[in-house]
């Protein structure tokens, strides 16, 4: 049998703050390369959802981590399943985004999710999207991108996104919420949001999605052709 060891399977890590457009860009890069896609933020959202359903306090690190270990999480065709039920819509709410950022501070939970994240490294390659993909989960990634934009640009994007989904949107509240989430992501002791030393900074304030995707594909090609 011709087995590909996980270590030979290329990983592209894209990290960055909320509402940077990371998810859309990452998915398009993965699609173009035919790579698998890990939306690690969705895992934290599922944990926020499941713990909420079980009346577990998001601040209770031990209970949150213990609950996470019992969950059967699957991604199928872009949808997220918990114990066999499609919960994609339920986890994509602003409330679960906030909950995800709260549970994500717990080191015990982050440790409980490591093996699951590694299991996404399947041939021909993986595009891993998150906050700590290049720093903690896949430090050996062949390409690391830190994708960001100013807080104001990101708030505008989130605002437009909510309007597009016919959901209530208040620009000032969104801006405030992003600042709170950024502070929590950057300030936590366990796997804080920081740019890996060997990551390439991609500021997308004045870039279209297509331009950002092209930039990453070009960098990937350069890395692989070295």
Rg (CA), the chain: 17
Strands 73-76 and 79-82 turn out to be antiparallel
Whether residue 151 contacts residue 178, with contact meaning beta carbons closer than 8 Å, is answered with yes
Eight-class DSSP state of 24 = H
Instruction: Give the single-character DSSP code of 27.
Output: H
Q: Which of residues 21-80 bind ligand CDP (CB under 6 A)?
A: 40-41, 44-45
Q: Diameter of the chain by CA atoms?
A: 58
End-to-end Cα separation, the chain, in angstroms = 29
Taking contact as CB under 6 A, which single stretch among the options 25-33, 61-69, 124-132, 197-205 is the one that binds ligand CDP? 124-132
Supply the minimum distance, in Å, between the C-beta of residue 150 and ligand CDP.
15
Smallest separation, CB 151 to ligand CDP (Å) = 13
Q: In this chain, which of 46, 65, 87, 130 binds ligand CDP, going by CB under 6 A? A: 130
Indicate whether 134 belongs to the interface with ligand CDP (CB under 6 A).
no
Determine the interface stretch with ligand CDP among 3-11, 62-70, 72-80, 94-102 (rule: CB under 6 A).
Answer: 94-102
Least spacing, CB of residue 184 vs ligand CDP, in Å:
6
Residue 36 beta carbon to ligand CDP: minimum distance, rounded to whole angstroms? 16
Q: Considering only residues 142-201, where is the footprint of ligand CDP by CB under 6 A? A: 181, 185
Among 12, 50, 65, 132, the residue binding ligand CDP under the rule CB under 6 A is: 132
Report CA torsion sign: 175, 202, 76, 69: negative
Distance CA 73, CA 135 (A): 23
User: Is there a contact between 12 and 126 (Cβ–Cβ < 8 Å)?
Assistant: yes
Q: Which is nearer to ligand CDP, 8 or 197 (CB)?
A: 197
Q: Are 49 and 99 in contact (CB under 8 A)?
A: yes
Residue number, 37 or 44, with CB nearest to ligand CDP: 44
Name the residue number minimizing CB distance to ligand CDP: 41
Cα distances (Å, whole numbers) of residue 26 to 11, 12, 149, 212: 12, 9, 15, 9
Contacts with ligand CDP, residue ranges (CB under 6 A): 18-19, 40-41, 44-45, 97, 100-101, 104, 130-132, 181, 185
């Amino acid at each position: 049998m011709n087995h590909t060891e996980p270590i030979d399977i290329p990983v592209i890590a894209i990290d960055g703050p909320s509402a940077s457009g990371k998810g859309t860009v990452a998915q398009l890069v993965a699609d173009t390369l035919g790579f698998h896609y890990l939306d690690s933020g969705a895992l934290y959202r599922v944990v926020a959802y499941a713990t909420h359903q079980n009346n577990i306090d998001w601040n209770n690190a031990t209970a949150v981590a213990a609950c996470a270990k019992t969950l059967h999480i699957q991604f199928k065709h872009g949808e997220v399943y918990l114990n066999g039920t499609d919960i994609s819509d339920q986890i994509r709410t602003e409330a679960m985004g906030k909950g995800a950022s709260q549970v994500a501070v717990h080191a015990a939970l982050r440790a409980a999710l490591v093996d699951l994240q590694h299991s996404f490294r399947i041939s021909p390659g993986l595009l891993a999207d998150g906050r700590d993909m290049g720093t903690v989960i896949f430090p050996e990634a062949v390409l690391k991108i830190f994708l960001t934009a100013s807080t104001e640009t990101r708030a505008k994007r989130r605002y437009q996104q909510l309007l597009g989904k016919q959901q209530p949107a208040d620009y000032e509240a969104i801006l405030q919420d992003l600042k709170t989430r950024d502070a929590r992501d950057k300030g936590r002791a366990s796997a804080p949001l920081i740019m890996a030393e060997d990551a390439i900074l991609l500021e997308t304030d004045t870039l279209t999605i297509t331009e950002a995707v092209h930039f990453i594909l070009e960098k990937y090609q350069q890395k692989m052709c070295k």
